[in-house]
Amino acid sequence: MKSKSWEVEIPYDWETLMLILSEPEKTLPFFPYFEKFEGGRVRFKVPRFIFNFGYEFELDVGIGRNEVIYTFRGERGILTVTFKMIGKKLRVTASWAGFGETFMGKPLENFTKGIAEAIREFCSSVACPVVKFHGSEGEVEHITPETAPALVKRVAMEFGKDFILEGEAEDGTYLAIMVKDGNLKELKIRQGMKESVIEADIPVIELGKEPFEGLPLDKKFKIRAKKV
């Protein structure tokens, strides 16, 4: 068996982490090498040896004391991903038992690092300034460059890797955020006759405050989101 681990700081409690990990269908699309999740079967495609053409797995989720285990069973072997809280740190361990495990060191290292960082960022969405959010509509107020990324990550958890988030304030200010393939692609702001469009290509899980600095966000917005 080949195993690799990665740790990240998680300034949140176990209950918050459980909310994220208990819905793998929402977080798996943001894991490294992810290709498809359908009918309980997960497909990863890794540009390295045994995964060159992609392999499908059945997923089982096990929950214990301060620990969650994702077990992926496929024809070529078993991939196990363990999430364990150690103090304020999350340790992610990925183990591969099967064909070609000697060559899986680097892919497993990239896998654990990417997963740990994705989970950390989705946990940050608990800081999202959402007042109400039901179905595809909600309200936010006093968004800042610091809290806007959490809002986008919160919506990504619900709508996946392709969506448009729109907001309109009482004074008519219009905000639109487009995400495609898990990347922030466009920010649009319209105030009266003036419209600004900012193009980008930033992975949602790496999104920081920079794209939102200088934008008129400190208002109460009614928002709606839709898949594209």
Find the largest Cα–Cα distance for the chain: 62
pLDDT at residue 60, rounded to an integer? 93
In the sheet with 194-203, reading across from the earlier edge strand, the strands are: 130-134, 137-141, 220-227, 163-169, 174-180, 183-191, 194-203
Whether the CB-CB separation of 55 and 78 falls below 8 Å is answered with no
Mean pLDDT of the chain: 87
- The residue type of 146 is E
Q: What is the pLDDT of residues 36-90, one digit of tens each?
A: 998 888 998 876 644 455 678 999 999 988 899 999 998 888 999 999 999 889 9
| DSSP 8-state assignment for residue 74 | -
Residue 59 pairs with which residues in a beta bridge?
72
* 2-44 pLDDT per residue, tens: 999 999 998 888 888 888 999 899 899 999 989 899 888 899 8
- Of the pLDDT bands very low, low, confident and very high (cuts 50, 70, 90), residue 129 is low
Q: Is the pLDDT of residue 130 over 70?
A: no
Q: Give the pair of three-digit tokens for residue 130.
A: 């959402």
By percentage, how much of the chain surpasses pLDDT 70?
92
Amino acid at 111: F
- Does the pLDDT of residue 219 top 90, yes or no? no
- Share in percent of the chain as helix, strand, coil (round to 5): 25, 45, 25
pLDDT for the residue 143: 82
Query: Taken in order 100, 106, 107, 112, is the CA torsion positive or negative?
Result: positive
CB 20, CB 122: distance < 8 Å? yes
Beta-carbon neighbour count of residue 104 at 10 Å?
A: 27
Mean pLDDT to the nearest integer, 188-192: 92
Structure tokens at 17: 């982490």
With a pLDDT cut of 90, the percent of the chain lying above it is: 48
Q: What is the pLDDT of residue 50?
A: 47
Better-predicted residue by pLDDT, 104 or 145: 145
Position 127 scores a pLDDT of: 63
CB-CB neighbours of 197 under 10 Å? 11
Round to whole Å and give the CA distance between 212 and 76.
Answer: 45
The one-character DSSP state at 7 is: E
pLDDT in the model for residue 220: 86
Distance CA 8, CA 88 (A): 9
Instruction: Examine the pLDDT at 92 and tell me if it is beyond 90.
Output: yes
